[in-house]
Amino acid sequence: MTQHELQEEYERAQLEPIPNNWAFEADSLFDDSPEPEHTAIGKPNHRFDTNLARSHQEEAPSSRLRETGINQKSQHSGFAAWLRSQAPTDQLSLSIEFLMYWMAFGDERYDPDLKRRIFQTPNLSKHDTIKRWVLKEDVHAFADVIEWMQKNTTSKQKEQIVRLLMAMLINGERPTPLQNTLLRFLSDVFYLENPTLEAIFKHDFGLNLPAMPRVDRLAWWRRQPPGSISLWNAQAINAGDEFTRHAAQLGLNSNARIEHIEAAYEKAIARCNPDRFDHLNEREHQLIASRRSRLSQSRDELMEALA
């Protein structure tokens, strides 16, 4: 799923009113912040900022931070406080949205223009505010989300959040290295034991979850099946033709045949069964319904192309 598609699905699922001057509004909510000038966006990553300043002048953090009012000395991300300021009924969905963007954007599944737009727009919707934290690569916001979910979700919800991330973001049968690593981490901080992550993956994908990725090792790269690596490159897939993009939705490459398409579609659609998310909110149900619709569209387009 591309960033555009993910955004469309969020917008279909819930259109929030866009707050004016969100930074000021959020700023006043930072009652746990030791410094009154803190803003909602919180602490930038040290390495991110110092080096972007050198290498990407158009997004230089110093100017960007001035423009957005971000305080570089903030010791907290601010996401936790921002989340607490939202309606209690929205907090779970907003946390899930953060994780979904974290996982998707981590694999660079977003429009290259999104970053510029998000950092240059002063008044952001809730969804764009979350994207901003994610695009800033604010690891402390990520930690805030994990902490919030640990304290505020049930075991069943945690399991279903993991299933939702899998159903929404994994195309085909091989998670990207990032997806594999994050899912393993989530399963540990969520204490998934019955079923375990491995059992969920085996059930939902029909295969064993690949071993912990070691992208720092040449030996690991040599073990990867031919063809799988190209399916991890969302930017390249987006730049491809329509058939390639639809095939990628189902985890297939451009050589896909009819029998592959049907089999991949059946598995993917089964992962999107709404009964699997009965402890989540209506918003997540709308997301998963939208994913089902997109999968069906890709199946139909591929079948028509091959007919």
Partner 1 sequence: MRNYFDILNTDRFSEDTEKLNRISEVESSLEEDYFVDLKTVLSDREQHMHYKRMHLQYDAISAVLARGTPQKDSNSWSKRVVEFPPAQNKLPD
Q: Which residues bind partner 1 (CB under 8 A)?
A: 43-48, 51-52, 54-56, 72-75, 102, 106-108, 137, 139-140, 142-143, 146-147, 150, 176-178, 181-182, 184-185, 187-189, 191-193, 212-218, 221, 229, 232-233
CA distance 24 to 39: 7
State which residue, 48 or 243, has the beta carbon closest to partner 1.
48
Residue 254: alpha-carbon gap to chain centroid: 25
Residue 232: alpha-carbon gap to chain centroid: 14
CA distance 30 to 41: 11
State which residue, 56 or 257, has the beta carbon closest to partner 1.
56
The distance of closest approach from Cβ of residue 307 to partner 1 in the complex, given in angstroms and rounded to an integer, is 34
The distance of closest approach from Cβ of residue 186 to partner 1 in the complex, given in angstroms and rounded to an integer, is 10
Residue 111: alpha-carbon gap to chain centroid: 14
State which residue, 26 or 99, has the beta carbon closest to partner 1.
99
The distance of closest approach from Cβ of residue 193 to partner 1 in the complex, given in angstroms and rounded to an integer, is 7
3-state secondary structure 5-42: HHHHHHHHHCCCCCCCCHHHHHHCCCCCCCCCCCCCCC
State which residue, 44 or 78, has the beta carbon closest to partner 1.
44
The distance of closest approach from Cβ of residue 18 to partner 1 in the complex, given in angstroms and rounded to an integer, is 28
State which residue, 177 or 251, has the beta carbon closest to partner 1.
177
State which residue, 15 or 212, has the beta carbon closest to partner 1.
212
The distance of closest approach from Cβ of residue 140 to partner 1 in the complex, given in angstroms and rounded to an integer, is 6
Amino acid 222 reads: R
Contacts for 28 with CB less than 8 Å, ≥ 6 apart = none
Q: What's the half-sphere exposure (Cβ side, CA atoms, 13 Å) at 167?
A: 30
The distance of closest approach from Cβ of residue 291 to partner 1 in the complex, given in angstroms and rounded to an integer, is 23
CA distance 8 to 104: 14
Closest C-alpha to 6, from 291, 301, 240: 291
